[in-house]
Chains A and B, each alone.
Chain A
Amino acid sequence: MDLTQITFYAIAILASVSALGVVASKDIVRAASFLIVALSMIAALFALLGSLFLSMVQLMIYGGAVIVVILFGVMLTRREEPKSRIRQLTRSENLAYLGFSVLLVLTLAFLEYRIGGLYLRPEGIPADSQAIGIVMYSQYRGVVIALAGLVATAGVGSIYLVKRKRGDSS
């Protein structure tokens, strides 16, 4: 086992353990802290696969922005802490989700075992940021324009929602 493999397994174990921590911890801020670790480990995996660009974008958007939104959300909406986290987790719909994820992982593992090459990066997919930019703005320009439209709509919508009504002094 070489250094890359050891690093991969260390990151993978840390990511899995912290993902378990997210669902198992009773305190909501603790859960968010575990989520940061899990998402950062995903970023580390991207870096290990050779795409530093994707890794840093993951860290910037999920590690930074999304976590702050979650923390703001949970800190401002104080809710009763569940008495028993285990009892809450073992409700029927949660068990269904769990079963579905186990099934998904098993299917993927089976496909990898029988067919193989599922997780290899296909040839010709660029890794450095300039190449990513060229592909995005030539091959996938329709998708980029559609997403830009969506973001612009969301921006205008959020401004409309928080706009103070005339005569509203609060």
Chain B
Amino acid sequence: MGLIAFLESSLVLRLLLVAAGVFIVASIGALIEIYIERKFWARIMSRLGPTEVGRYGTLQLFADAIKFVGKEDFTPVAADVPVYTLVPALSVAFSFVPLLVIPFDYTVASLFPQRFSPGDFVFSNFDPSLLVLLAFFALQPVLVLLGGWASGSKYTLIGGFRSAAQMISYEIPLVLSLLSVVVLTRTLNLQEMIAVQSNSLPFVLLDFPAFLLFLVAILAELERTPFDLTEADEELVSGWITEYGGTKFLLLYLASYLKAFAGAAILATLFFGGWLGPSPVPPLAWFFLKTIVIFTLFVWIRASYARVRVDQMLNLGWKYLVPLSVLWLLLTPFAASVFLGHGVLG
């Protein structure tokens, strides 16, 4: 294979190949997510969802995408043009980076064990890969604030404030509940975390309080119902993205689903053993399936719960989630010693 040898010769080429592979996986994931969001949500509400375009409405997404691209690309008069234009592009980029450290590349490379050696074609296997993920999640509120401000309208600015306040508040329990898993696995490398789970019970059972705390915190971080009060499409217009239209709105929409895919994938990695599963089904399929099932759970929660108010959201974050996650983090070493004693933790 001349092509493989050519690719192996350069680190940059290999990195580009891996990035392209992960982008394809993530985009397919995002498309499936949007379809589930519409169809499954509609079924819960006794509606049909999209039915007209394509069989079972599967092509509706493409029709919508074409519609958005064909719309006029406008900029509000009061907008700060460079920042306003940069925010959607950066939003997609910052949502995509966390997906690069989630070990999708390992599962793709393991489909071709003879061609791609995991040592050369897997880039997600490095020491603080969890920190990279957290760092890029931590940059999201900045984009939200800048986007809200740069649109030049007071409503988007207020929406940006609400959004950033929510993200900042829930980042703390998010990180603290992740640290509980770090204590159990003694590593910051996501691949090693999955390796630890291969000879122990899945962490959703061992570390159940952390799973619950993480689930609530990630729903708030992704701005999904019941924490979608920053968008609140029935009450406000659309929060900080009100003034974005056409292609820019499409980019922000894609970014939100890429972020949701990353959130579901990290949940699958940390608590459901990532790609682990019975062997005839390839690891990629297991990983993808787990991620999609977790996203379906997000949609189910969206369909079942009412939106919380701002004060309820802040109370829940600061008065309950933060103290509980600190408490569970303090208790985790004791739990770990019990698990090690009983041989359920590898």
Contact = CB atoms under 8 A, between A and B. Distances in A.
Interface string B118-144: 000000001110011011101101100
A117 to B, nearest CB: 27
A68 B134 contact: no
A36 B145 CA distance: 13
B194 interface: no
A68 B141 contact: yes
Interface residues of B, number: 25
B127 A128 contact: yes
Contacts of A56: 128, 131-132, 134-135
A66 to B, nearest CB: 10
B138 A72 contact: no
B157 interface: yes
Nearest to B322: A155
B345 interface: no
Contacts of B132: 52, 56
Interface stretch (A57-65, A95-103, A107-115): A57-65
A19 interface: no
A29 interface: yes
Contact of A36 (B128, B142, B168, B186): B142
Most chain-B Cβ atoms within 10 A of its Cβ — which of A36, A52, A57, A64? A64
Contacts of B275: none
A27 B82 CA distance: 13
Given A52-B132, A71-B142, A29 B149 contact: yes
A8 B39 CA distance: 49
A56 B126 CA distance: 13
B127 A68 contact: no
Interface of A: 27, 29-30, 33, 36, 52-53, 56-57, 59-60, 63-65, 67-68, 71-72, 75, 128-130
The 6 closest A-B pairs by CB, nearest first: A64-B138, A56-B131, A59-B135, A60-B135, A56-B135, A60-B138
